Amino acid sequence: MPVHSKLEKFEDNWQTSIGGWSLEGKVVLRGKDVFTELNEKPWMEYLLYAATGKESPKIARLMEAMWVICTSFPDPRIWNNRISALAGTARSTGVLAAAGSLAVTEATIYGLKPIKGATDFLYRAEARLDPRVRV
């Protein structure tokens, strides 16, 4: 059997620098101990650190405020919310309802596609205004 150069080195091991749990009970996220170094963090700061590695109470607060007023209008007619409403009507589970809604949120007329498009525009506009910025 020939050696498969691309895949064989990954066949029986899993390497990551993001995080992991050890049999001794230690949980590490991006090099920090979750129980002793990250245990006092507010949820949004923890999420920001997990996703980006940044530690910034200011950005976390901005994200939290955006989350409250921009990202989830509580109207059951909005199409992603409608999935959860239908799941409730059909007596599905809470997690299945939320997972279905979240999956649908990568939409064209609302949700993730407009957000990505707008973010991309802002990055490109910044680059156009300041040649030192590269997109």
Partner 1 sequence: MTDKSVETITTKIWRETPESDNPFAAADCFCSGYDVYGDLLKNASLIDYLYLLFKLERPTSQQSALLEGLAIALANPGPRDHSVRAAMSAGVGGSTHASALIAALSVGAGNLGGAREVFHAMEYWQLCATNLQDWQQIIKNPPQEGRADVWSPMEHPPGFDPNGISCPTPVIKTLAHLVEVGQTPHLSWLQDNRQQLEEFADCPLAFSGVAAAALFDLDFLPEQAEMLYLLLRLPGAAVHALEQEKLGWRKYPFFANGFKLNP
Nearer Cβ to partner 1 (12/130): 12
**Encoded tokens for 8:** 């064989």
Residue 118 engages partner 1 in binding (rule: CB under 8 A): no
Phi-psi sector, 21: left (phi>0), alpha (psi -120 to 50), beta:
beta
Q: For residue 2, state whether it binds partner 1 (rule: CB under 8 A).
A: yes
Judged by CB under 8 A, which of 4, 116, 124, 128 binds partner 1?
A: 4
With tokens 């993001």, the residue in question is 18
Q: Is 54 helix (H, G, I), strand (E, B) or coil?
A: coil
Identify the residue among 21, 42, 51, 113 touching partner 1 (CB under 8 A). 113
Is 115 a residue that touches partner 1 (CB under 8 A)? Answer: no
If the CB atoms of residues 29 and 104 are measured against partner 1, the closer one turns out to be 104
* Shortest distance, position 124 Cβ to partner 1, whole Å: 23
133-to-24, 117, 118, 124 alpha-carbon distances in Å? 45, 18, 17, 9
Cα dihedral sign, 102-106-110-114: positive
- Residues forming the site for partner 1 (CB under 8 A): 1-2, 4, 7-9, 11-13, 75, 77, 79-80, 82-83, 86-87, 89-97, 99-101, 103-111, 113
